[in-house]
Amino acid sequence: MDVPVKRKREEDEEDSVEEDKNYEENNLILRELAHQRRKRKEESSAFIKDGTTIYMTALDYIQNPPSHLLSFRQLMYEDLLENPRSPKTLISALLTTFCYEETFIAPLLKQGIKTCLITESSSPGRFNISEGFTIISPRKEVSWGKFHAKLFLLKFPDKLRVVVCSANLVQYDWASIGQVVWFQDFPAGYSRENSFLAQLQRFLVKVMPISYDMKEHLGIDLENYDFSNPKVELVCSVPGRTPDLANSGQARMRRLISQTGNTYSDLLIQCSSLGKLNRKVMGEFCKSFANNLLANYEIIFPSLRTVENSHLGKGGGGTTFIKEEHCNAAEFPKKALRDIASPLEFPQICKHLSHSKVVIAHNNYEIDDDTIFYFGSHNLSPAAWGTWEKNSTRIYMMNYEMGVLFLPKPGSKAMKKEMVRRLPFAVPPPKYQENDEPWLIDKHLN
């Protein structure tokens, strides 16, 4: 008679052990989930979303990547974490680019994200590809003008993310060469018109055909967001001749920088394409970017040696342009050219080329509250920034471009030093070696 009782006790003990085991397993799972939530919160907080800094694209080959790298996919997530378990809250997207790959933007379309793509084409117009996907190609003033802006408007449930960068919508641009990305999240609300909002509206009016209503197709109404605290000024270029010197290319730069009352002794300029430059053109750029016609300037542009030794070799130099004819012209500022090198604090970001476009107005590399930074799509060319006409009372623009400008601000020294730290190249840049020559695409790329 005792046997069943003993068996019952053994079964109770086994059940108890099993329950304890399950309890421990559940506890481990809960602790792991709590750890993941804490880690996720810490990672999310590492991303600064208020527009006070810049990010670099997440290049594929970087070992031990630093925290200031950002992918295109991450920008599409509200929390920027690109976690498969993250809720996909992106509602619609306006994307502008010089060129694109269908495969690169396909994930947005497959997820049903309403998308408008504005891009360069020899055939201007509006093309309704599907119910939720429209392509627009703006009209240009001249055949050699380009639509070159990289602006994204990303609508989330209670905010609008405004992104300005130097990368096109192709995998190569986001994974293989250095780029700079700026963005700021603007909350739902209302604000009186300011210069940031006015510039954004002006640019969109110029690139959108009358037949396309962004509010109707994307649900994006700029009047429904609070733009009262932008951390930057927008600098746009739109094609045409205009006496409006407050809104166009380098004329806008000149107006904004001269209004600070500061002059700068030095300029650092980095870009992926150099146009037809001479003493007059560079003097105008110095006046516009440094408020100083005689500013010293350095131009970061890779040498042939640097391109050959980069991860992709000469084949990777296809997005880096100077024509041999322009470079060999008598007044081309060849002595101002500097090579590209790894960022000083991040030697693992090495052997790459940069497609970013950066201007820094400084005094002997003293980064302080007054230092000025530009980031965006403008290369160093009259086509991008505009040509002065009629004794500088009119400016002639050829390209569509978009950039952001950080002006002097009390207490911004640490923020600006951090931006220098996050650039995809060394500041100050190294000089060319004795036998170096600049990378000339029409001479060196077979």
- 49 marked ligand binding residue: no
CA–CA gap between residue 46 and residue 70 (Å, rounded) = 12
CA distances from 67 to 42, 199, 429, 440 (A): 12, 31, 23, 34
Cβ atoms of 321 and 272 closer than 8 Å:
yes
CA–CA gap between residue 406 and residue 411 (Å, rounded) = 13
Token output for 329? 């012209």
Token output for 437? 């020559």
Q: Where are the beta strands (DSSP E) in 149-272?
A: 151-156, 159-165, 180-187, 233-237, 240-242, 266-270
- 357 marked ligand binding residue: yes
CA–CA gap between residue 239 and residue 341 (Å, rounded) = 34
CA–CA gap between residue 165 and residue 154 (Å, rounded) = 14
Instruction: Find all residues with CB under 8 Å of 350, minimum gap 6, and list them.
Output: 342
Q: Which of 68, 148, 352, 362 is catalytic?
A: 148
Instruction: Find all residues with CB under 8 Å of 257, minimum gap 6, and list them.
Output: 288, 289, 290, 291, 361, 372, 407
Token output for 362? 């400084």
Indicate the SS3 state at residue 22.
Answer: helix
Cβ atoms of 386 and 238 closer than 8 Å:
no
Cβ atoms of 439 and 322 closer than 8 Å:
yes
Burial of 322 (0-12, 13-18, 19+ CB in 10 A): buried
CA–CA gap between residue 431 and residue 298 (Å, rounded) = 10
* Catalytic residue flag (residue 148): yes
Q: Which of 68, 217, 352, 355 is catalytic?
A: 355
Cα 265–Cα 269–Cα 273 angle in degrees, nearest 5: 150
User: What residues act catalytically?
Assistant: 148, 355
**Binding residue positions for substrate:** 150, 357
Binding residues: 150, 357
